[in-house]
A = this chain, B = another copy of it.
């Protein structure tokens, strides 16, 4: 569904959100340990998220990553997916045509579109704050 990079991105963002909510800035090492991801690869992904203004990065001692509390409810999964995987999940065709199209649809177009649109809606209406709540409560997990 999503690339590995995107999966790590979502996990990392949720973890940073939980910590930022408690005014804890977190470093790369911390993050990759907590979400069980390769450290250097995670660094690249965090850079992308930072460039896309999804997280803030601070260099130097006591540096790390954080998310503004006021932004958390405005960051949704769609923004993260777009930042890492681009819009292929929205514009791509279920059978692999470069672009999905109503004019020249593939055989599964009508049925695929329904699912894709629901996925899109889910990603757009799920924000990082709500996801962080379940995690903080211990109801959900970032690793096993």
Contact = CB atoms under 8 A, between A and B. Distances in A.
A62 interface: no
A114 B140 CA distance: 17
B131 A97 contact: no
Contact of A10 (B108, B122, B140): B108
Q: How large is the interface on A (under 10, 10 to 19, 20 to 34, 35 or more residues)?
A: 35 or more
Interface of A: 1-2, 4, 7-8, 10-11, 14, 77, 89, 92, 94-98, 101, 104-109, 111-112, 114-115, 118-119, 122, 126, 131-132, 134-135, 139-142, 144
Nearest to A8: B96
Copy count, this protein chain: 2
B131 A89 contact: no
Nearest to A104: B141
Contact of A115 (B7, B112, B118): B118
